[in-house]
Amino acid sequence: MKVYSKTDIGLVRHSNQDACDGGILPDGSAWAVVCDGMGGANGGNIASAVAVENIRDGFLAGWKNGGSGPAVRDALISAIQQANAAVYETAQRDRTLYGMGTTVVAAVVAGGVAHVAHAGDSRAYMISQEGIRQITVDHSMVQELVNAGDLTEQEAMRHPRRNIITRALGVQPGLEIDYAEHEFPAGALLLLCSDGLTNYADTQEIYRLSRTVPAESLAAELVRLAREGGGGDNITAAVVENQPAGL
């Protein structure tokens, strides 16, 4: 198992409000997290940084080697809830940060299973020889319109209010988190990313790139792809590789 990540300011923003982290646990399991902050230059930066730090520290403190599926889920959800409380409390102490928050998509890969939790519109994709599949559903205004049949997926990609999210970490004392488990076979890749990638790089372009560059270069190449597509937002990608045996 390997984890690679890259975050970039893009071509338009004056600061990078994205944050990410990831690594390998002592038992060989992998973890990664991507956050996309909101609430102004200072608030967005702080929200995403505080969230990533607390998710990392909370998860690593709660990790049990070789834990069962429920144990992994509990450790991951607990870490995100801890981060939600930390961001919310930080904003309550400083009026200039009131209302700040961040998206979150986090994953733990253990025992051939990807445990994925998220809130907001940062996404997770499963990539294999068979293709690319989005495995999270955005918590956003346009996604609700798509769900209701009022917009097509193609219309949603161009909608002027596509960046309005309906769920975010740190805005309220509590947070509803979506969680799911997915098989993660040898040779597959798990991509976590902010909307700075998906708004400026087509899904099939992402897939084609994943088939032509090595996993260790993919995050950086995805950032390059989004910059070439306009780079109108911060761009972050984290890639978890399930290496085939013998590599």
Beta bridge partners of 126: 133, 190
Reported as a single tens digit per residue, the pLDDT across 99-146 is 899 999 999 998 899 999 999 999 999 999 999 999 999 987 666 665
- Extract long-range pairs of 215-222: CB within 8 Å, 24+ residues apart: 215/2, 215/4, 215/189, 215/239, 215/241, 216/2, 216/4, 216/241, 218/4, 218/189, 218/191, 219/4, 219/5, 219/6, 220/6, 222/6, 222/191, 222/193, 222/197
**Predicted TM-score of the model (pTM):** 0.92
The pair phi, psi for residue 107, each rounded to 5°, is -145, 150
pLDDT at 160 over 60: no
Reported as a single tens digit per residue, the pLDDT across 4-49 is 999 999 999 999 999 999 999 888 889 999 999 997 657 999 999 9
Reported as a single tens digit per residue, the pLDDT across 174-227 is 999 999 999 999 999 999 999 999 999 999 999 999 999 999 999 999 999 999
